[in-house]
Amino acid sequence: MTKFETILDDFAFLDDWDDRYKYLIDLGRSLSPYPEERRDEAHKVKGCASQVWLANDRRMEDGDEHIDFYGDSDAHIVRGLVAVVLALYSGKTVTEIKNIDPDEALKPLDLSDHLTPQRSNGLASMIATIRKIEPS
């Protein structure tokens, strides 16, 4: 998975939004295959115009529970947005997840000015789904 800092750097390097959309699509293509058994209503993100699924696995590391997220979408650009969200949140503890200010973290990408309202709502729904997670 591409690191969030790398995505920020790559977006800063690409000054044309056509190139940024292509990059988002490439990020989506680089996602690990999403497990078919998790492509169900329980993992479907509500509030997205496209179909989006998010799942997680938990693991212990240095005495803390870390959460690894997986996701997919049936739309290319949205799948890229899934990749961005996963890069931001995956591998972190619940406390770290809750402490991330998504608006501030995503601000350098300038997505709000370049996404359709439906995609912006979907992005917000993905983030809200992840931020609802509680420790086990």
Greatest C-alpha distance within the chain:
44
Residue 136 within a domain: no
Asked whether 76 and 119 are in contact (CB, 8 A), the reply is no
Residue 59 within a domain: yes
pLDDT digits 0-9 by tens, 81-95: 999 999 999 999 999
Residue 47 within a domain: yes
**pTM beyond cutoff 0.85:** yes
Residues known to be catalytic: 48
Contacts of 129 (CB under 8 A, 6+ apart): 45, 46, 54
Counting the structural domains of the chain, the total is: 1
C-alpha–C-alpha distance, residues 40 and 78, integer Å: 18
- Residue 90, φ and ψ in degrees, nearest 5: -65, 140
Residue 48 has pLDDT above 90, yes or no: no
Q: Which amino acid is at 27?
A: L
Residue 136 has pLDDT above 90, yes or no: no
- Domain range for 96 is 4-131
Asked whether 56 and 35 are in contact (CB, 8 A), the reply is no
* CATH number, residue 11: 3.90.1010.10
